Amino acid sequence: MTNQTQNTACMHILHLEDSELDHALVTRELVRSGELFDIYRVETLAAFSAALDKTDFSVVLADYRLSGFTALDAWQVMQTKSCRVPFVLLSGAIGESAAVRAIKAGISDYLAKDELGKLWRVLTRAIEMNRILLEKEAADRDLSLSEQRLSRFTEHLQETIEKERAAIAREIHDDIGGSLAAIRFDLAWIGRHTEDTGIQSHVVAASEMLTHAIHASQRIMVNLRPAVLDQGLIAAIQWLAGEFSKRTGIPVLVEAPAHLDGIPKSKLLVAYRATQEALTNVSKYAQCSKVRIELSDAEDFLTLEIADDGCGMSPDSLSKASSYGIRGLRERARTVGGWLDVSSQLGQGTALILSIPLGPSETTHGESTP
């Protein structure tokens, strides 16, 4: 039966009901609402399933107890068909436990048959809530896809950056390094072949500047392409700690297992860059007297913690637009399935913790050295 009203969307109702009288009461109440609808009644699970295949309904309205089955059986039929139509129970007293089971199963709403005056409102609410749910699920899927694309882009970007860094490091080594070495030989030749004290003093000054340039180019090459990683993560982090202490005078304690081998290069790079960024931040902001670096591969996780005893940070400091270094490390950690946390309190130091999952075959433990 159909009731028609101008300028109103039609509600298509599938009514699962084995009582003609109850169906007539429902239809009369819907007519009284003055809204546009059509309603189609079925009595059996087979007819219910066939109706779902033939027509796109706005809502299912079902009695709870029917001949040989219940509304929960009809709900299961909808689940097997992946049918996301809102489902409203309209029944007599079914008991609190049955009503709770129905709602937990995912049924949209329940209305007692002696409250038919609320029927249209309950149906429209169920349809609206179902629409909101479907839109949220679609938005969540879109967000998940966007996050996956962002993760793949971040991974590609980091790979591109590392390749570019390696290319620049090779150019510095081959071109600038070769030129600086040639200049050193020329200055040495000049120094050996002149007795003029003025020229000798210029040679000495130029040699000192040349030595500084060579050291600077070597430092830049190491920062661009950490060849020290070829010796393993522990050696690389110990080298970073040593260089940091030389520059700042701040002691660094490194705690690590005797051996940490077989970790993929991508994960080594993430841990190395995290240590590099953390130590850079410590030197700029921490105002600390010591730093502790702890490295572990327990329970198939590579865990790296860099902690200082400095001035710490306020809770909102990390949300500032200027904290791109930490944000970049977080994104980089995600590209290898890991995550990065920063814990800090004013006056109580800062700790950066990187966790990266490892497969059982990605770590090889050696015997501890005496």
* CATH assignment of the domain containing 361: 3.30.565.10
The residue-averaged pLDDT of 5-25 equals: 84
How many structural domains does the chain have? 2
pLDDT at residue 85, rounded to an integer: 94
Domain boundary among the residues 116, 136, 156 is at 136
**245/118 same-domain check:** no
pLDDT at residue 323, rounded to an integer: 59
The residue-averaged pLDDT of 40-46 equals: 95
Beta strands in 92-248 (DSSP E): 109-112
pLDDT at residue 228, rounded to an integer: 76
In a domain, 104, yes or no: yes
Mean pLDDT of the chain, nearest integer:
86
pLDDT at residue 324, rounded to an integer: 60
pLDDT at residue 363, rounded to an integer: 47
Q: Crossing angle for the helix pair 197-224 and 177-192, nearest 10 degrees?
A: 160
The residue-averaged pLDDT of 258-285 equals: 88
Where in the sequence is the domain holding 294, given as residue range(s)? 229-370
Residue 23 φ then ψ, to 5°: -65, -40
pTM over 0.75: no
**244/122 same-domain check:** no
Domain boundary among the residues 136, 156, 178 is at 136
Share of the chain above pLDDT 70, in %: 92
- The radius of gyration computed from the CA coordinates of the chain, to the nearest angstrom, equals 36
Residue of 67, 17, 66, 22 lying closest to 42 (CA atoms): 17
Residue pLDDT, tens place only, 216-229: 888 888 777 777 77
pLDDT at residue 245, rounded to an integer: 95
Residues 6+ apart with CB under 8 A from 29: 116, 117, 119, 120
What is the pLDDT confidence band of residue 318, given thresholds at 50, 70 and 90?
low
In a domain, 38, yes or no: yes
In a domain, 30, yes or no: yes
What is the pLDDT confidence band of residue 169, given thresholds at 50, 70 and 90?
confident
Structure tokens at 108: 């949209």
**H or E element, residue 186:** helix 177-192
The residue-averaged pLDDT of 34-39 equals: 94
The residue-averaged pLDDT of 270-286 equals: 91
In a domain, 219, yes or no: no
In a domain, 105, yes or no: yes
pLDDT at residue 368, rounded to an integer: 35
Q: Which residue has the tokens 């003055």?
A: 34
Cα–Cα dist 338/278, whole Å: 17
- State the pairing for strand pair 69-70/11-16: unpaired
The residue-averaged pLDDT of 54-76 equals: 92
Angle of CA points 164, 168, 172, to nearest 5°? 170
- State the pairing for strand pair 301-308/291-296: antiparallel
The residue-averaged pLDDT of 97-125 equals: 87
pLDDT at residue 157, rounded to an integer: 79
What is the pLDDT confidence band of residue 15, given thresholds at 50, 70 and 90?
very high
